Structure 1
Amino acid sequence: MNPLQLLFPNRCLECNRIISSEEVVCGLCYDQIHFTHNHLSENNLLKEKCSLLFPVENAVALLQFEKENLSRKIVHQLKYGNREKIGKILANWTLEKTDVKNLIFDVLVTVPLHPKKLRKRGYNQLHLYAETLSKELRIPFDHTLIRRNFHKKAQAKRSRKEREATQNLFSITKEISGKHILLIDDVFTTGNTISSIAWEILKYPNNTVSVLMIATD
């Protein structure tokens, strides 16, 4: 065992029990996580929300993002806690808990960070998640297809008016047509970020878009 692991063991985000370095919560607290299971329901609320904003083929969400719940803690650690490895854990949960493995896509893409924010954070919280899915699903992941044109405050820190002002925030870096693209993001809130990217993709002939969210509120 790494000496640092002896001094600073990995602990469950919820109960603080010592757990394996490959885990984020202990077995008992895992049962407290609110998975959406939306593929088992006749009513896919995420797809309904997306459909109001842009044409969407499929919409999948892993976690229910609620105030002060464990799902929120996990996502916040992934984004702000310098714990990029959580992305791999979440990807494995996505394969286990959703029907994404039964759907067919041509390419995976993620919502990009602006280079300024990427330098500050040190990693894009979605890349390891998407890379893990790409490997397991055998679908290519293109992390350069979408470019963020402007640096904006984090979605959670922005006012509703600022969230709505997403025109021209993203652009496509290369021509792509006739593809079914799975667009991946961490949390679905207003849907404006996903919508602005989807419409950029749909400008090209015969493209279709599906959505995969780590969490939805």
Structure 2
Amino acid sequence: MILDLLFPNRCLECNRIIESELLVCPVCFSQIQFTYHDFLSENSLKERCKLLFPLENAFALMEFEKESLSRKIIHELKYKSREKTGNILAEWATEYLDFKDEKPDLLVTVPLHPRKTKERGYNQLHLFTERLSQSYQIPFDHTLIKRNYYSSAQALKNRKRRLENQNTFSVTKTIEDTHILIIDDVFTTGNTLASVVWEILKRGNNKISVLVMAMDV
């Protein structure tokens, strides 16, 4: 309580004091560029993913534009030690995400290397995924995919390095005849996501859908 008085929670956009469980004030919330994707219909994320790998369905929560509020939110989650931001993003996602009759069998996160997890203190996708799991009654598995190599932040790699993703990931257990929803934070080129997907597809007759917190536009 004393900390709340000394260091009140402030809106990421306008710096106005807000309730502790919020990220932005109601006024700035209206500035977030939600995609309003329909999970089962054609949308821009699905079109881009289908150029890289076979896909059932896709959903992006927000647009990830330069200097946008959504970018600030993702950066708070990944780099500012605000792990609980994942819970808030999951709450927003459930307002727009309707699986209808195509509910996946399993939620799987794109992993960090253990060294990166230790440096950051958490994987930014875990709370988000666990809240979705609870809301939709879908099991999750944070260990199905393993990242084999430690590397610098994806945003700092040049295009050549982005394309060198072979053997970056491996599947740790048998997985067959399963509809898997792969969850990541931001979709940019899609190369990292594609590396994860192809490892899963090589293991059995699995189906893939994709969910990301934000997509570059």
Do both share a fold (TM > 0.5)? Answer: yes
Q: Name the SS for the 1:67 alignment partner.
A: coil
Q: Counterpart in 1 of 2:149?
A: 150
TM-score (norm 1): 0.96
How far is the alpha carbon of 1:139 from its aligned partner?
A: 0.5
Residue 133 (structure 1) aligns with? 132
Q: Match for residue 72 of structure 2?
A: 73
Deviating beyond 3 angstroms after TM superposition, the runs of 4 or more aligned structure 1 residues are 40-43, 100-103
User: What is the CA-CA distance between 1:99 and the residue it aligns to?
Assistant: 2.8
Task: In structure 1, give the amino acid aligned to 2:154.
Answer: Q
Q: Distance in 1 between matches of 2:161 and 2:51?
A: 20
Structure 2 residue aligned with 1:22? 21
**Residue 202 of structure 2 aligns with which residue?**
203
Structure 1 residues 101 and 135, CA gap change in structure 2 (3 angstroms): farther
Question: Which ranges of structure 1 fall in alignment gaps of 5 or more residues?
Answer: none
Question: What secondary structure, in the 3-state scheme, does the structure 2 residue paired with 1:112 have?
Answer: coil
Aligned to 1:168: 167
Q: How many percent identity over aligned positions? A: 61
Q: 3-state DSSP class of the match of 2:141? A: coil
Amino acid at match of 2:150: H
**Root-mean-square deviation (CA), in Å?**
1.4
After superposition, give the CA deviation of every residue in 1:118-162 in whole Å (9 maximum; x if it has no partner): 100000000000000001111001000000000111111111111
Give the match for residue 186 of structure 2. 187
Paired residues in the alignment total 216
TM-score normalised by the chain length of structure 2: 0.96
Distance 1:74 1:101, change over 3 A: farther
Please tell me whether the aligned partners of residues 36 and 62 of structure 1 are also in contact (alpha carbons under 8 angstroms): yes
* Distance in 2 (alpha carbons) for counterparts of 1:17 and 1:5: 14
Per-residue deviation, 1:116:
0.6
Q: Is the 8 A contact 1:60 1:100 kept in 2?
A: no
Q: Distance in 2 between matches of 1:102 and 1:110?
A: 22
